[in-house]
């Protein structure tokens, strides 16, 4: 089936005229029509626009103008502004918002010929690890437990809609954003490759902000090669984003074939969680063995401030969210609830427009930034953040990359862990530190747990050394031979 092709296979098939871009796009649109009512992976499906883009791709291919993604159907997380297509950020407050401009990342994908199928569901304003906080309903993970196939599992968050869409064959690849693990954790939960590049590698311009110093746009795909192809198009310097790095974009796809012979791979001793299933730890040990067999040297390293990562993150991120979300006041754009005066209008609009998790984080952020608490909380958290970055800098003086597990658990069911915010926050235990440090990281599907659910391994690299991350990830992918498929998928 066309929906089972990888991006690399689709690219080659389109250029060889084995099928058309319209064929490929229609196959995915039919799959969305069949499965999205259940999975709820898409908030908006751009049927007519996608067909028009596919026809334009076929015309470009006929004229010999084959770009890296010409005719490849992708899903776009509903955090990226898309000109003329509704962008909600998973929130009621942005329900009617239709951007008059295109984000830099999506503009780059369109420049390279991609077809946009629609906008995917997500935790509201990217705040969550389960995709249960979306104002447009939860997303269902297409994977099922072997022992209990009636339980509805979460796809992870916040980019759960993107992950579910790619896993279920409702898109060939997708964009996501990673603020504390929101690409890598859903990738692990859905059996995908998810890449968080170095901070500044992909422009944040036109991406609805959660925490500006932590937000990282990146790709989801079903293979390491596909994720490298997508990142090659998404990345690049953008003068409209002051945090965008003026560095060249390497050939990430070529890096996938480099191998790991002679590389030193660090194993951080702090990446063990109390109560972590033994099978996840066993998979980590297996991953270490795969890299050793491929010629890498395994080195024990320490990242001593890892234990402070979550506490630091949940001060810095809400503080930045409190500031960023102050713009949603019912006056400039988005939904509005009229009030007796301006203050009442603000209060009514924000109370009705924001969900409980967003309100919780805005309150925390406002508190830690308030007079009398700024030094005690926010300033101290920034100092710890510097120490976390120093941990990575010291480790990378000895090794070329790090190998850890991605998440402390396999996907859990809707309703599990939901009544305890702290338990939910622990899902980001192994992913948050690399956001605080701004270093690149990727999750690669490496095996199944006892319930037949996917488990990912995480590769963390030096700043702007995504090439090594892809090289290590490709070796893990080949050694793992992960071929398991989710229960709910196009043609399944």
Active site residues: 77, 158, 182
Question: Alpha-carbon distance 218 to 192, whole Å?
Answer: 13
In 257-406, alpha helices (H): 278-293, 309-324, 342-353, 356-369, 380-396
How many residues can be counted in the chain? 492
Task: Give residues with Cβ within 8 angstroms of 278, minimum separation 6.
Answer: none
Exposed, middle or buried, 34 (CB in 10 Å: 0-12/13-18/19+)? middle
Between the CA of residue 148 and those of 74, 145, 235, 454, 488, what are the distances in Å? Answer: 31, 5, 41, 15, 14
Token representation of residue 474 = 């490709």
CA dihedral sign of residues 240, 462, 456, 281: negative
Task: Give residues with Cβ within 8 angstroms of 483, minimum separation 6.
Answer: none
Peptide bond into 158 cis (omega under 30): yes
Between the CA of residue 314 and those of 241, 258, 382, 406, what are the distances in Å? Answer: 25, 37, 11, 19
Question: Alpha-carbon distance 189 to 274, whole Å?
Answer: 20
> H/E element holding 444?
strand 441-448
Between the CA of residue 172 and those of 29, 90, 304, what are the distances in Å? Answer: 12, 22, 39
């Amino acid at each position: 089936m066309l929906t089972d092709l990888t991006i690399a296979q689709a690219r080659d098939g389109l250029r060889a005229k084995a099928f058309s871009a319209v064929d490929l796009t229609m196959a995915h649109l039919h799959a969305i029509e069949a499965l999205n009512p259940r999975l709820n992976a898409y908030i908006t499906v751009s049927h007519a626009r996608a067909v028009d883009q596919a026809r334009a791709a076929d015309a470009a291919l006929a004229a010999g103008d084959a770009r890296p993604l010409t005719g490849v159907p992708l899903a776009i997380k509903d955090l990226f502004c898309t000109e003329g297509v509704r962008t909600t950020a998973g929130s009621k407050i942005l329900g009617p918002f239709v951007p008059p401009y295109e984000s830099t990342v999506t503009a780059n994908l369109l420049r390279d010929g991609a077809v946009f199928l629609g906008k995917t569901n997500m935790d509201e304003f990217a705040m969550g690890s389960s995709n249960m906080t979306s104002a447009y309903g939860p997303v269902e993970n297409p994977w099922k437990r072997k022992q209990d196939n009636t339980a509805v599992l979460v796809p992870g968050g916040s980019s759960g809609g993107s992950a579910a869409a790619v896993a279920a064959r409702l898109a060939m690849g997708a964009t996501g954003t990673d603020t504390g693990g929101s690409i890598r954790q859903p990738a692990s939960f859905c059996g995908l490759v998810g890449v968080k590049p170095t901070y500044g590698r992909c422009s944040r311009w036109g991406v609805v902000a959660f925490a500006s110093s932590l937000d990282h746009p990146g790709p989801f795909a079903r293979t390491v090669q596909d994720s490298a192809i997508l990142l090659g198009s998404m990345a690049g310097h953008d003068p409209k984003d002051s945090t965008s790095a003026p560095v060249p974009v390497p050939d990430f796809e070529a890096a996938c074939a480099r191998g790991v012979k002679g590389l030193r791979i660090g194993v951080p001793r702090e990446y063990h969680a109390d109560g972590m299933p033994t099978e996840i730890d066993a998979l980590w040990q297996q991953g270490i063995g795969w890299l050793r067999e491929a010629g890498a040297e395994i080195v024990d390293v320490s990242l001593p401030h890892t234990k402070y990562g979550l506490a630091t993150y949940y001060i810095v991120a809400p503080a930045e969210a409190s500031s960023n979300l102050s713009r949603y006041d019912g006056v400039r754009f988005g939904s509005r609830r009229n009030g007796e005066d301006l203050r009442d209008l603000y209060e009514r609009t924000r109370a009705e427009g924001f969900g409980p998790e967003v309100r919780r984080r805005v309150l925390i952020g406002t508190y830690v930034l308030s007079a009398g608490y700024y030094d005690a909380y926010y300033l101290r958290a920034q100092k710890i953040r510097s120490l976390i970055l120093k941990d990575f800098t010291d480790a990378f003086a000895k090794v070329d990359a790090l190998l850890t597990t991605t998440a402390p658990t396999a996907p859990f069911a809707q309703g599990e862990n939901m009544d305890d915010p702290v338990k939910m926050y622990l899902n980001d235990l192994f992913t948050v530190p690399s956001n605080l440090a701004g270093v690149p990281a990727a999750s690669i599907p490496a095996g199944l747990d006892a319930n037949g659910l996917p488990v990912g391994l995480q590769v963390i690299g030096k700043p702007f050394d995504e090439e090594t991350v892809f090289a290590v990830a490709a070796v893990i992918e080949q050694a793992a031979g992960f071929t398991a498929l989710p229960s709910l998928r196009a043609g399944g």
